Structure 1
Amino acid sequence: MLSPAPATLLDHYLGISRLLAGQLDFHSAIQSVAAEINHIIPHDHLDVCMIMLDGKYHIAYEMGIETAWGQPPPAPLAGSPIRAVLWGEEPFLLTADACIDPRFHFEGAFSAPIQQLSLRSRLHVPLKVQGDVIGALSCSSRAADLYSIEDVNNAQSIADLLAPYFFALRAADQAQRSAIVEAEARAREEGLRLGALKLTEALETERQRIGMDLHDQTLADLTRLARRIERLTHLPEVTGETLEPLSRGLQQCMQDLRQIIEQAKPSILQLFGFAQAVENHLDRSVSESGAVIDWQLTDDTGGAIDSLDQTVSIALFRIVQEAINNAVRHAQAGRISVRLHLVKSNIVIEINDDGRGPGISGKRTGSGLENMRTRARLISAKFDIRENIEGGGTCVTVLFPMISRPA
């Protein structure tokens, strides 16, 4: 191929140096100098192949014809058709027709683009910094026998201009990757810290819940039993009839403790969903009471209630649980209904019974009611308890706005 005059070559080399200045990434750098290189070495395809710091992979940045060589991810160095140059085994590669040159088609070579795009004339020279090969400059043409040894020398001069700049870009890219890895590590560490904090908060919340559950019933019952036992110590004789209420009270305390322990374990709520958990609690509470109580559960949420955050779901379930317990234990209800439905963007839960109203059943106005209010307040839900206008009994309503669900 006819080479440019020395003065013209110098102008192009100076142009390459000038155009490289200020380029901050590989793609923009190769794009900025491609035209100047084409004046020196005409080509259909140009690429700069960079060896990654691990020495095992390389990646190509190309101009002109797009090939699979320029597609991520980085490819193994051992499969490169120009590995002899990249490994420093050859000072350059020059071929009149790469389509039939066996040096480019060894076993395992990724040489398909050569055949697919008829890249016949090819030359490859190393990019070196302080004697180490960091990559290669490659020029290819669809015309056969286009390049000469003089073109190889010109290409090497270009490569010597590019090498320090591309070396600096590689170092900057590696520093950026390291910074990203470090930032991701810090983010994971922060995530673990926040996770531990949330776990601590969850444990504290659970501790408070157990405390409320114990206070609601068990502690009060044990206090009453202790006072009865104290009075019995002053009697000259204690009969079996006198001890019978104490036995029943202790059995009730044990039943309450079993229920608290059961609630602390992974529940049906977590395994099968909200409606199933409520249905299970309704059935068990009514069965254990021994009373004849008709109950009904209706779920019209279309599965939305099971999409809630677990913390919210558990809080709502505890409120429903307490309302059902009140209806079964204290209201003397003959019928209990629970309805789950949607009103605009709100989940609404209604628990109705036909027993004694909230003003008559004194135990409904104690700690159990306050616990329901507290649980609702903690998840930003609205809580209401009122006497049914028709048919008597009590209606407990909880409204949770899904848009403003807590994190």
Structure 2
Amino acid sequence: MLNPARESLFDRYLGISRLLAGQLDFHSIIQAVAAEISHIIPHDHLDVCIKMVDGKYHIAYESGLETAWSKHPPALLTGSPIRSLLSGEVDFLLSPDACTDPRFHFEGAFSSPIVELSLRSRLHVPLKVQGDIIGALSCSSHSHDCYTMEDVENARSIADLLAPYFFALRAAEQAKRSAIVEAEARAREEGLRLGALKLTEALEAERQRIGMDLHDQTLADLTRLARRMERLSGQAELPGESLEPLSRALQQCMHDLRQIIEEAKPTVLQLFGVAEAIENHLDRSARESGLSIQWRMVDESNGALDALGQTVATALFRIVQEAVNNAIRHAQPEVILVIIRNLNGTLSIEVIDDGSGLMSSRNPGGHGIDNMKTRARLIAARFEIGQNDSGPGTFVKVQLPLGRKRIRDH
């Protein structure tokens, strides 16, 4: 059976445990348990010093006298008067007069509150969790030499009660700070993405306007010029053979211009949707490549393409368009396959070719792959490019989550 003194001390420890319940921050814990601790270890000043997760900084929480320690932002551990304890060099610190104790006063030490408030007797023990020091419990008195080794042992018992709570709070605060930083970073990234997306929309609209202007004006002018040359070449007094090369060059120029117009203003995409536009581009690109290319498109999206907003649809089409163009220009494939799937709420579009491989499809002077990555990033899609596992050639894959915010225009 415990003697009355031991029983009273045990009751105090139980009281501290009860007071810890429900406290959600460091300062509240110190304020809640300070009076109970004073019955075990009398003090004029009580503080808990907590090491930050990075191990370089610490912060103090006080009860009783207020000092610059708690008003100061997180400070470097190297300047703490009790750095030897926090670093694990000593098991405890016990001083009869900390105002003159050289252990607390060294170059760079933040020890001015000790002298200013006459915190003479000082007792410090570490807060440990699983052998790691996460901070320290400190008791101070204006009186000279008032603490003993018995007080040190009692302080260690109190520290053992407090340490798990402080450890959990530190972890929670670190997680909260990390979540805030991550949320702010995501907000900034989303703001930049939406801004870039708006710019892309404006550029796409301007691109289409230029395409229409080229069609309505420039191409029409060239067509009239071509007809005049045809009429002139039929007149006997003109050397027709001298106009023939010019006529061929003009026809080629008109052909190239029509391609530019088609890419600038994909009318099939606007009228019939992504699947039809991809199929049309595959067919036209294969025919005009001069190569013997077999192509196939598999649409297993279950109508997901029809729900896409115009901006997202255009971006996806441009990615596929660039992937097909890259394959034809740089890899000389025999087969190009486009697979569109709806996999558990994620739209997946994959362009697969059997050409000469990824390195051949990288044009040192171009920006095709970078453009595809940028377009995917602007619509919050995942982009992937690599060598085929099952054979020669390259795959390009873009994956877009089909949430409501993803499929509507911004």
Taking structure 2 as the reference length, the TM-score comes to: 0.51
* Deviations, residues 103-140 of structure 1 (Å, cap 9, x unaligned): 10112212122223332222111112233322110122
Count of matched residue pairs: 243
Cα distance in structure 1, aligned partners of 2:121 and 2:164: 27
Cα 1:228/1:120, change in 2 over 3 Å = same
Seen in structure 2, the aligned counterparts of structure 1 residues 117 and 232 have a Cα distance that, compared at 3 Å, is farther
Amino acid at match of 2:104: F
The answer as to 2:162 corresponding to 1:142 is no
Identity of aligned residues (%): 79
Taking the aligned partners of 1:220 and 1:75, their CA distance within structure 2 comes to: 74
Distance 1:45 1:210, change over 3 A: farther
Partner secondary structure for residue 158 of structure 2: helix
Aligned-pair distance for 1:187? 4.8
Shift of 1:13: 1.6
Residues 218 and 66 from structure 1, CA distance in 2 versus in 1: closer, same or farther, beyond 3 angstroms?
Answer: farther
Q: Are 1:81 and 2:87 counterparts?
A: no
2:33 corresponds to which residue?
33
Query: What SS does structure 2 have at the residue aligned with 1:123?
Result: strand
Alignment of 1:3-402 (within 5 A): 5-71=5-71, 73-183=73-183, 187=187, 190=190, 194=194, 197-198=197-198, 200-215=200-215, 217-237=217-237
Q: Deviations over 1:151-174 (max 9, x none)?
A: 323222211211122122223333
Distance change (3 Å), C-alpha of 1:237 and 1:172? same
Pick closer, same or farther for the CA change 1:216–1:163 going to 2, 3 Å. Answer: same
The Cα shift of 1:191 comes to: 5.4
| Counterpart secondary structure, 1:46 | strand
Q: Aligned partner of 1:129: which letter?
A: V
Q: Aligned partners of 1:25 and 1:209: how far apart in 2? A: 60
Q: Any idea what the Cα deviations from partners look like across 1:247-281, whole Å, max 9, x if unmatched?
A: xxx9xxxxxx9xxxxxxxxxxxxxxxxxxxxxxxx
Quick one: distance in 1 between partners of 2:212 and 2:44?
79
1:331-389 CA distances to partner (integer Å, 9 max, x unpaired)?
Answer: xxxxxxxxxxxxxxxxxxxxxxxxxxxxxxxxxxxxxxxxxxxxxxxxxxxxxxxxxxx
Residue 100 of structure 2 aligns with an amino acid whose one-letter code is I
Q: Secondary structure at the match of 2:103?
A: helix
3-state SS of the aligned residue for 1:222? helix
Secondary structure in 2 matching 1:60: strand
Q: Per-residue displacement from partner, 1:307-342 (whole Å, max 9, x unpaired)? A: xxxxxxxxxxxxxxxxxxxxxxxxxxxxxxxxxxxx
Once the 2 structures are TM-superposed, how far is the Cα of residue 50 of structure 1 from its aligned partner? 1.6
Query: In the aligned structure 2, how far is the partner of 1:47 from the partner of 1:100?
Result: 20
CA distance in 2: counterparts of 1:10 and 1:150, whole angstroms? 15
Distance 1:176 1:14 in 2: 30
Letter in 2 for 1:172: A
Secondary structure in 1 matching 2:123: strand
C-alpha distance after superposition, 1:49-89 (max 9, x if no partner) = 12223333222222223323224542222221111211222
Question: Aligned AA for 1:127?
Answer: L
Alpha-carbon distance change, 33 to 214 in structure 1, aligned in 2, over 3 angstroms:
same
State the alpha-carbon separation in 1 of the partners of residues 213 and 74 from structure 2: 60
The 1:213/1:113 distance shift into structure 2, 3 A limit, reads farther
Q: Which amino acid aligns with 1:204?
A: E
Deviations 1:204-250 (A, max 9, x none): 223113224434643343333334333333444469xxxxxxxxxx9
Judge which range, 184-193 or 58-67, deviates more: 184-193
* SS, match of residue 104 in structure 1: coil
2 CA distance for matches of 1:216 and 1:64? 84
CA–CA distance in structure 2, aligned partners of residues 22 and 35 of structure 1: 17
The residue that corresponds to 1:279 in the other structure is none
Runs of 4+ in 1 over 6 A off after TM superposition: none
Q: Please state whether the residue corresponding to 1:145 is helix, strand or coil.
A: coil
Runs of 5+ unmatched residues, structure 2: 240-249, 251-256, 258-409
- Which whole-Å CA distance do the structure 2 matches of 1:113 and 1:195 have between them? 51
Q: What is the root-mean-square deviation in Å for CA atoms of aligned residues?
A: 3.6
Q: Take 1:33 and 1:199, find their aligned partners in 2: how far apart are those partners?
A: 58
